[in-house]
Structure 1
Amino acid sequence: MADTFLGPDGLGDQHLGGLDVFDAASAAAWADSVDATTDLDGDGFHDTVAFDNGLGALVVATDTDLDGRTDRLTAVADDGEFGVWEFHRELDGTPRWDRIDEGTIGMDESHSTEHK
């Protein structure tokens, strides 16, 4: 797998293209500053906005619970590598973004690498 999200050490540095860091909190903050343009789940409410983050990735930001804040991000880099993050809040109120999925679009099983 390329360095896109895992970074050169494979430990989750979340690099984009091996050059810049993908910051889920910053991407979500930007998405929250604009109006959603798409109704991703078909319930009649716009909940999603897609944008180019300027670092070689398409980002899809979704407010799954319609509270006005992004809580799910999917980013796809120009090399086909993707990551999916979800927002969580700890019991003490501390916010965090957890990467829940990753991979490479179009890569067959013989070329995939497991990262645990």
Structure 2
Amino acid sequence: MEKQIQKYLPLSESTYYILLSLVEPRHGYGVMQHVETISRKSVSIGPGTLYGAFSNLEKAGLIRAAGEEDRRKYYVLTDLGRNVLAEQIRRLQIMAENGDEVIPLLEK
């Protein structure tokens, strides 16, 4: 794995969900709603956390502004952001597979 990608991993839960939401362009409120929906309401990101994360992720080159409409600024993943997210998903898949192997032992 490239060092450029590795330095961002593992992603925090909130960062993971923000990046997952930005596979398509979304504005802040849209990201907050999408995160709640896809996490089945297990993750909720407030505006302060979200806009701080947007700033940090934009500086890191993982997201970029994708335009404005009706005073709403839209963001989307960069190529680096897509690669980081893909690697995080791969890591999570391995973790889930490891968990699936252990579940029968826990149920004894």
TM-score range, shorter chain: under 0.3
> Relative contact order (C-alpha < 8 Å, sep 6+): which is higher?
2
Taking structure 1 as the reference length, the TM-score comes to: 0.22
| More strand per residue | 1
| More helix per residue | 2
| Higher Rg of the two aligned structures | 2
Taking structure 2 as the reference length, the TM-score comes to: 0.23
